[in-house]
Amino acid sequence: MSSAGGRWRDLAGPVGRIDVGARNAITDVPGVRVGHSQAASGERTGVTVVAPPELPAPAATATVNGVGELTGKLEIEERGRMETPVYLCGSHAIGTVLQAAIVASGRGPDDIVLPVVGECDDGDLADSRTVVAADVEAALADLGEEVREGTVGAGTGMNCFDFPGGIGTASRAVASGHVGVLLLCNFGDHEYLDVLEGVADPVAGAAPRPAPHGSCIAVCATDLPLSIQQLRRLALRPLLGLTRAGSYAAEGSGEIGIAFGTTGGTAGGEGVGDDVLNRCFAAAFEAARESVYNCLVAARPAQRRDGTMQPRFPAEAAASAGRDRLG
């Protein structure tokens, strides 16, 4: 949860109005852990795992634009639960990661499990076909409460608003619990990034890039006792936070959300009252927006496969221009 220059709020101050958790990360939700691994092949790709404290966990999904994949989505929508951690990877690694996740589940051939694997396209910087089962095992071995951001794990080869992208996270304290968000950021045009309003064009003169498609997988966790229907509604709110930062859900982009609870007995329950639910919605919205900025600050430029370099996100200039707009 750190970078050489700190995180966004270290530079620009708070995002939104709700208090953050102690780490300002999805792992502020008790028991949630995150692990990353880089591909042993040396390609700029990798794997990230977000694990709840117990499985199965109550869960639900939402989609703004569906040009992307989250395996297990149909079962989650049918049964209101997920049976594995959430695995994140590059698009062409999804089959390898899914198979490795089946092995990691420890389930036998007579006990079927459908892992939850979300993908974004890192083909601009990497060949994600080089991911192997050992990379998944390494991400699982890395599970912990500290969350590295930016160009790590599944985020290693991603782009965000034409800058280096990847992993971002944030959290908010709500009622007697927390709402946390982790994003795999691979979306956006820099012209629409809200914190660049008033900043000189940071990619002027750069080589023209292909029309962006991008994607974002948003993982939201809470320890509040939401019902399945409330989790389904919560899963949408981080995706709304992306639009506040500047996403318009481009034609070829997948904006897919999954929300899970850590209080496993709530499936089918009545959930929380409207006042608390509204705070959860606002918390997920704020945390996702801040997660985008945290990703941009932490991510580091790399050489693309075509030999050109990614431009560096102008964090100081964006923070200076954006301070008055982020209250």
Token pair for 220? 């939201």
Strand partners, 71: none
| Given 119, 149, 255, 290, the catalytic residue | 255
Residue type, 213: H
105: Cβ contacts below 8 Å, ≥ 6 apart: 83, 84, 113, 115
Distance of CA 21 to the CA centre of its chain: 17
3 is catalytic: no
215 is catalytic: yes
253 is catalytic: yes
Cα dist from 145 to 20, 133, 178, whole Å: 16, 23, 15
Reduce the DSSP state of residue 2 to 3 states and report it: coil
| Residue spans of beta strands (DSSP E) within 194-290 | 215-222, 254-261
| Given 37, 171, 215, 227, the catalytic residue | 215
Residue type, 231: L
Q: Distance between CA 40 and CA 44 in Å, rounded? A: 10
| Given 91, 171, 227, 253, the catalytic residue | 253
Element (H, E) at 117: strand 116-120
> What are the catalytic residues?
215, 253, 255
